[in-house]
Amino acid sequence: MIMNNEMTALIENIKTDYFNWTTGCAAAAGRGILSDTNKTMIAEFNEKIAYKTGSKYIKVFTEGGSVWGFVVNTDNDKKFKKGDILKAAGYAAPARNKARGNILDGGYTIRWTGPLYL
């Protein structure tokens, strides 16, 4: 149950970052408000971001099925702990070089485009 709550929080943080990025682009373009196109883009992004739980990892994906990243979903990993955020190495596997934060510990920094680079 805790993992579901934290995954929901992660998804909301990703959505918030996308919204902030979009509003920043609108401000940079000299508009104080979002255009209808911006509003549509935000709604579509929010609708299409999801996650799928597997035995080892939880895969987070965005519009069109692009992989955002992975979250470790097991206590039996030799290198990472449960809740660690991992960058995607490809569609089916995470990059196992270093965790980019932990959803159970909090205090992680992410972008709507994915976990941050090292």
Tokens 């490809």 found at: 90
Nearest-angstrom CA–CA distance, 67 and 70: 8
Model pTM score: 0.90
Largest CA distance in the chain: 51
**pLDDT value of position 1:** 72
**pLDDT value of position 65:** 82
Nearest-angstrom CA–CA distance, 94 and 84: 11
Q: What is the DSSP letter of 15?
A: H
The dihedrals phi and psi of 15, each to the nearest 5 degrees, come to -60, -40
Residues of the chain with pLDDT under 50: none
Handedness of CA 31, 47, 115, 103 (dihedral sign): positive
Angle (deg, nearest 10), helices 2-28 and 36-48: 160
Nearest-angstrom CA–CA distance, 21 and 95: 25
Nearest-angstrom CA–CA distance, 98 and 102: 11
